[in-house]
Amino acid sequence: MALISIEGLDKVFRRGDEEIHAIRSMSLSIEPGEFISITGPSGSGKSTLLYILGLLDKPTNGRYLLQGTPVENLSDTERAQLRNKFMGFVFQSFHLLPRATALRNVMMPLVYAGTYEAALPEAEQRARAADALTMVGLENRMNHLPNELSGGQRQRVAIARAIVNRPKLLFADEPTGNLDSKSGKEIITLFDRLNAEGVTIIMVSHDPAIAGHAHRTLSLRDGELVEDRRAS
């Protein structure tokens, strides 16, 4: 069964009287373990697609099956639970809580996991968050606040937060967009590792060097899928 399958997906924004078709009747499916990059010029709808797939936004029309389950029937709480346990998100501008240390930021998904199942004891939460930070190479920066970290380090904290609940799916929206090329390479190396461990990665990027790491590239233009290319 496909991990993700969309059919005839539409997304229409209304801005005043104007209707903007961010995505037009798009269909595609994604198998577990893929590493996909979505590319396209700005305004092509790539971020919108990512947010819909990542359950941060809802399509106007069409079907979205996540592991065979129609997402449109899910309650708000069920969507929150999927975001928490089943998927992780990495943003271009990191989106860390500025007043919380790296460790606290990474612990946050574990704290909310406690609403869906028995909460881990705090010591266990700390240990899990520390493991995730170690995995991204920040074992020496755990008690730093985000503004005490470099951009690359912040993005690695964000990745640690995204993977701390061991999700099957990782979404990334221009994860290297705000980073220098060296930091960008570190991030992409991390993604390679995670993908090798079985995490499905869907990433928006217009940087060809980064996008090239993906095994499959989806090219969008004006809300339509114009190319679906697999690396040989």
User: Least distance (Å) from other proteins to the CB of residue 93?
Assistant: 9
Nearer to other proteins by Cβ, of 128 and 213: the residue is 128
Smaller CB separation from other proteins, 98 or 140: 98
Interface residues for other proteins in 22-51 (CB under 8 A)? 51
CA gap 33, 73 in Å, rounded: 25
Is 81 or 176 the residue whose CB approaches other proteins more closely? 81
For tokens 């997304």, the residue is 11
User: Which of the ranges 112-120, 129-137, 149-157, 179-187 carries the binding residues for other proteins, by CB under 8 A?
Assistant: 112-120
DSSP states of the chain as a string?
A: --SEEEEEEEEEEEETTEEEEEEEEEEEEE-TT-EEEEE-STTSSHHHHHHHHTTSS--SEEEEEETTEEGGG--HHHHHHHHHHTEEEE-TT----TTS-HHHHHHHHHHHHTTTSPPPPHHHHHHHHHHHHHHTT-TT-TT--GGGS-HHHHHHHHHHHHHTT--SEEEEESTTTTS-HHHHHHHHHHHHHHHHTT-EEEEE---HHHHTTSSEEEEEETTEEEEEEE--
In the bound complex, what is the minimum distance in angstroms from residue 127's beta carbon to other proteins?
A: 17
Least Å from the CB of residue 55 to other proteins: 9
Distance separating alpha carbons of residues 130 and 85, to the nearest angstrom: 18
| Beta carbon of residue 45, minimum distance to other proteins (angstroms, whole number) | 14
Using the rule CB under 8 A, which residue among 43, 108, 185, 192 binds other proteins?
A: 108
Decide whether 97 or 226 has the Cβ nearer to other proteins.
Answer: 97
Q: Whole-angstrom Cα distance, residue 155 to residue 96?
A: 9
Nearer to other proteins, 39 or 84 (CB): 84
Q: Which of residues 56-95 bind other proteins (CB under 8 A)?
A: 56-57, 76-77, 80-81, 83-85, 89, 91, 95
Report 123-182 residues binding other proteins (CB under 8 A).
Answer: 161, 165
Q: How far is the CB of 229 from other proteins (least distance, A)?
A: 28
Which residues are near other proteins by CB under 8 A? Answer: 51, 56-57, 76-77, 80-81, 83-85, 89, 91, 95-97, 99, 108-109, 111-116, 119, 161, 165
